[in-house]
Amino acid sequence: MSGKEESIYVQVARCSLESTVRGEGHPKLPDKLPPELERPGGAFVSIKKKGMLRGCIGTVLPAEETLAQEIAANAVSAGTADPRFAPVTEEELEELEYSVDVLTKPEKVTDLSELDPQCYGVIVRSGRRTGLLLPALNGIDTVEQQLSIARQKAGISPEDPVEIYRFQSIRHY
């Protein structure tokens, strides 16, 4: 890390992935976690190496008992089970940068004017296919770009009707 202070959210993510990759088993979470990490919540963990995405996995709605456990599980998945990338190796650990997005509950969108790619992430759903894109991503400046990429991620064609949901996130570094 380049001398920056990591948030507790990122510390949980980093510790979890590093423990797993090193074969140390489940990490022990800090004894004194902030109250917001003791409640359930959805979160995405993004991992980058030299500025390029290396893994990103998350949950919109909580699957674990606490947000800390959610972040830990998603960090391990992002580093070892993202199908777009090979699993992270022990040699890479020092080069990785993490961010954690904590999501609000999704709300259905009835008009595209309710979207703003800098403020809201989107979820598009058609049948069993679902695509999600986080808010405030570099190079995504329009609602049309955001929806197009979310559709592509889900394998939903531009002609297929979709349900659209929006959410906000707080990004932690």
Among 51, 53, 39, 46, CA closest to 14: 46
CATH number, domain with residue 130:
3.30.1490.150
Report yes or no: 84 and 115 within 8 Å, Cβ to Cβ. Answer: no
Boundary residue ending a domain (78, 103, 128): 103
> Is residue 86 classed exposed, middle or buried when 0-12, 13-18 and 19+ CB atoms within 10 A define those classes?
exposed
Residue 66 carries which DSSP code?
S
Residue 156 placed within a domain: yes
22 and 73: one domain? Answer: yes
89 and 126: one domain? Answer: no
Boundary residue ending a domain (58, 86, 103): 103
116 and 162: one domain? Answer: yes
Among 41, 108, 130, CA closest to 120: 108
97 and 112: one domain? Answer: no
146 and 115: one domain? Answer: yes
47 and 86: one domain? Answer: yes
70 and 119: one domain? Answer: no
- Per the confidence metrics, is the pTM higher than 0.75? yes
Output the pLDDT for position 25. 85
Helix (H) or strand (E) holding 53: strand 52-59
Give the β-pairing of 43-49 and 107-108: unpaired
Residue 1 placed within a domain: no
Q: What is the pLDDT along the chain (173 residues), one digit of tens a residue?
A: 445 789 999 999 999 999 999 999 887 787 789 999 999 999 999 999 999 999 999 999 999 999 999 999 999 999 999 999 999 999 999 999 999 999 999 999 999 999 999 999 999 999 999 999 999 999 999 999 999 999 999 999 999 999 999 999 999 99
162 and 79: one domain? Answer: no
Q: Is 94 left (phi over 0), alpha (psi -120 to 50) or beta?
A: alpha
Phi–psi pair at 156, nearest 5 degrees: -100, 125
Domain that holds residue 65: 8-103
Query: How many domains are contained in the chain?
Result: 2
Give the β-pairing of 43-49 and 96-103: antiparallel
What's the chain's Rg over C-alpha atoms? 16
70 and 85: one domain? Answer: yes
Residue 173 placed within a domain: no
